[in-house]
Amino acid sequence: MADASDELVQESSALTRSDLLKKGTAAAFAVGMFGALPEKSFGFAGPMKFAKKQLAGDLRIMQWAHFVPAYDQWLDNTYIKRWGEANDVEVKVDHINNALLYSTAASQVAAQSGHDLFWFISPPSTFQKQVVPLNDIVQEVTKKLGPMTKVARKSTYNPKTKQFYGFPDDYAPDPVQYRRSYLQEAGVSLNTWEDLRKGAPKLKAIGHPVGLGMSNEIDSNMLLASLLYCYGGFIQNEENRIVIGQGSNRKGAIQALQVMRDIYRNGMSDEVFAWTAASNNQAFLAGRLSVALNAISIARSAENSGNTALADDTWLASIPRGPVMRLGNEHVMGVFVMWKFAKNKEAAKKYLVDQQLAYREHFIRSGYYNFPAWTGAIKGGFKEIRRMTAQDPHKPKGKYTILTTIAEKYTTNPGHPGNTTPVIDEIFQTWLLPQMFAEVAQGKMTPAEGVSAFARKANAIYRKWKNQGLV
């Protein structure tokens, strides 16, 4: 047994190796921990401050992780720093996967805390009661750049409240992307939906089916609503009342459902019912698909893959014409909202205005993905945009020129010919359109039954939002 003198000797002795390891580990953990928790502790890396300047505050922005990483890098490391220094504001942009935007927004609203500006991939009109109207900055930008595009206006303006609930920032046209060699081999044209209906079996026969999604994801929503427009099967009218179950709208919707059912049965495969937003990209890039509707991420990914045979064979076209019109939804409508609980509203507004005024650089950096909501943001408007896209160096030379035509003439907002109301947003967020098309394609319903069931649900949603005074 140790006596008192032994204990004294032990206490006064130098650190043992074991002690050193224990204390060293604890110290390293403490240092690491506090170093990694900058804002809640006395860590190493607190928020950056601009030298010799009094900050006007912080600005937190949430937006998607752009499919062009270089765009986000430029935005985060160059653009916002430059703007922040010029305005004495510490700007921080957080990026998330686009599929998680709505759930993140919902959690921020529930917590009544979050970013000052929140960017959505499609018009988030169901959040109207949570946001600050932005009529003042819309007017300010319009004064400087001229009128905004119709797609931007109808996506963000609520005629009932007479408010712009969101600030339209950018939109991406939704071209058809196709493998030219496959279509030539099968002798298929994409001029009309009827052409595609007839050509789909031929494309499937050569081993390259058509890829049009009917799944709970945004690409399917956009595409299927577009198909309805082409056949005159509008969900709502210009006054934003649900009309799909009535008259020519019902007839057009039934025709659109029949066309999609035929294309699926003869020219597609079951996978389209389980697609995510990325699936058509992946199937196309893997060489399986002959036709897909998507923003230019497919064509750009093909170019970036280094597979020149695939990239050169990937061509763009406008949406096929239907018996009523040739018109498609935007693929992405970038809308910023400013939450009521935003902490730095003034800086947020200035940021949005300045960004739109300087959108030419955003358009270029995004690889012509982000078209400006105000075409006047690019001096010369669509004429200049056409010149720029025509100069894209990828083969076939000039393949992106059609993008300008689509953006200018054939792109509209969800809910056309009306506005993107909360009713339309909820119909999109609850995936009623792909579900209707899928059930008809699978033979679970006739097209007429599908339209009737859809109209009932849409009317119920309409009544809900009417009671809330937003339609």
Binding site for other proteins (CB under 8 A): 29, 32-33, 36-37, 39-40, 62, 64-69, 72-73, 92, 94-98, 100, 104, 106-107, 110-115, 219, 276-278, 280-282, 285-288, 294-295, 297, 301-302, 304-307, 310
Q: How far is the CB of 338 from other proteins (least distance, A)?
A: 16
CA distances (Å), origin 175, targets 267, 300, 470: 20, 13, 32
Nearer to other proteins, 9 or 100 (CB): 100
User: What radius of gyration, in Å, describes the C-alpha atoms of the chain?
Assistant: 27
Q: How far is the CB of 208 from other proteins (least distance, A)?
A: 12
Q: How far is the CB of 446 from other proteins (least distance, A)?
A: 33
Q: How far is the CB of 265 from other proteins (least distance, A)?
A: 25
Q: How far is the CB of 286 from other proteins (least distance, A)?
A: 5
Q: How far is the CB of 207 from other proteins (least distance, A)?
A: 11
Nearer to other proteins, 69 or 469 (CB): 69
Nearer to other proteins, 98 or 249 (CB): 98
Q: How far is the CB of 167 from other proteins (least distance, A)?
A: 20
Q: How far is the CB of 285 from other proteins (least distance, A)?
A: 6
3-state secondary structure of 16: coil
DSSP-assigned letter for residue 209: -
Nearer to other proteins, 29 or 50 (CB): 29
Q: How far apart are CA 148 and CA 162, in angstroms?
A: 16
Q: How far apart are CA 340 and CA 116, in angstroms?
A: 9
Q: How far is the CB of 274 from other proteins (least distance, A)?
A: 15
Q: How far is the CB of 281 from other proteins (least distance, A)?
A: 5
Q: How far apart are CA 167 and CA 335, in angstroms?
A: 6
Nearer to other proteins, 33 or 460 (CB): 33
CA distances (Å), origin 263, targets 197, 209, 437, 447, 456: 5, 10, 12, 14, 26
Report CA dihedral (156, 160, 162, 163) to the nearest 10 degrees: -40
Q: Which residue, among 142, 131, 200, has the nearest Cα to 339 in the 3D structure?
A: 131
Nearer to other proteins, 279 or 318 (CB): 279
Nearer to other proteins, 210 or 295 (CB): 295
For tokens 């358009």, name the residue. Answer: 363
Nearer to other proteins, 92 or 457 (CB): 92
Q: How far apart are CA 227 and CA 245, in angstroms?
A: 16
Q: How far apart are CA 366 and CA 400, in angstroms?
A: 14
Segments in 157-246 forming alpha helices (H): 180-186, 193-205, 218-230
Residues 6+ apart with CB under 8 A from 122: 218, 221, 222, 332, 333, 335, 414, 420, 425, 428
Report CA dihedral (360, 365, 370, 375) to the nearest 10 degrees: 10
Nearer to other proteins, 282 or 442 (CB): 282
Question: Cα 38 to the chain's mean position, in Å?
Answer: 32
Cα distance between the two ends of the chain: 86
Nearer to other proteins, 62 or 145 (CB): 62
